Amino acid sequence: MSHDGHTRAAVVQLLLEQGPITATEIGTNLGLSAAGVRRHLEALIDTGEARSTTSASWQQKGRGRPAKQFQLTAAGRSRLGHSYDDLAGAAMRQLREVGGEAAIVEFARRRVQTIVADIDPAAGHDVVEVEETAEAIADAFTTAGFAATTRPVGNGVQICQHHCPVSHVASEFPELCEAETQAFAELLGTHVQRLATIANGDCACTTHVPLVPPAAKHQEAT
């Protein structure tokens, strides 16, 4: 691979792991000039592998026009490879034929438990513990190939999976995503909300985790 190819691959990897991300942040992370970053981003957008978005209000630093951010599209992620999709899909369909929906649900549950097996559940509604557990979940999923991160949003934190090595299978078997959400709730000791999934065509799997205990919310309301 040429030097230009290695740089393009590094930009793609950064978009995968940290996107949405600004061109300035890409340049800082990779030591590229503004012109170099722009050239790679334009090429990725032209091929449909990346797209630009406007940053949300909570992401704004200072005043002025909202910064433009960049992230991979579904087409961009698909070029990273999805191991054994056809075989996995065939195996799941066969499992459903033999054991019915209950077998799929149990398989999905066991799969996610394997990923988070070493994580201890958060105790009670301690905010610090919930945050630490969310980070541990992101680390475990990153190790499993999901390029996961956490980010604070309002009175909560979001677990973002920027890649899904089984997204093509999960689009046919949503039980895989549902099992992940259930496991997150059990480990975090609170209700969580899945806001988006790659399997449904979104740019990332995003799960919102509230950090304000239910009792505190009730007191605020009164």
Q: How far apart are CA 203 and CA 208, in angstroms?
A: 15
First to last CA, the chain: 63
pLDDT above 90 as % of the chain = 55
- Check pLDDT > 50 for residue 220: no
Where is average pLDDT lowest: 85-99, 106-120, 139-153, 168-182? 85-99
Q: Average pLDDT of 146-163?
A: 92
**Residue 132 confidence class, pLDDT cut points 50, 70, 90:** very high
Q: Is 164 exposed, middle or buried (0-12, 13-18, 19+ CB in 10 A)?
A: buried
Can you say whether the dihedral through the CA atoms of 83, 75, 178, 129 is positive or negative? positive
What backbone phi and psi angles, to 5 degrees, belong to 150?
A: -120, 155
**Residue 221 confidence class, pLDDT cut points 50, 70, 90:** very low
Give me 68's structure tokens.
């433009």
**Residue 1 confidence class, pLDDT cut points 50, 70, 90:** low
Q: Average pLDDT of 191-215?
A: 87
**Residue 65 confidence class, pLDDT cut points 50, 70, 90:** low
Of the candidates 25, 98, 6, the residue with the CA atom closest to the CA atom of residue 68? 25
Estimate the crossing angle of helix 3-18 against helix 34-46, to 10 degrees. Answer: 80
Bridge partner residues of 206 (DSSP): 160, 196
- Output the CA–CA distances (angstroms, integers) from residue 60 to 67, 149, 162, in the order listed: 7, 19, 21
Give me 91's structure tokens.
């195996």
Mean pLDDT of all residues belonging to the chain: 85
Query: What does the radius of gyration of the chain's CA atoms come to, in whole angstroms?
Result: 19
Q: How far apart are CA 91 and CA 58, in angstroms?
A: 43
Q: Average pLDDT of 128-139?
A: 95
DSSP character string of 47-102: TTSEEEEEPPGGG--SSSSPPEEEEE-HHHHHTT--TTHHHHHHHHHHHHHHHHHH
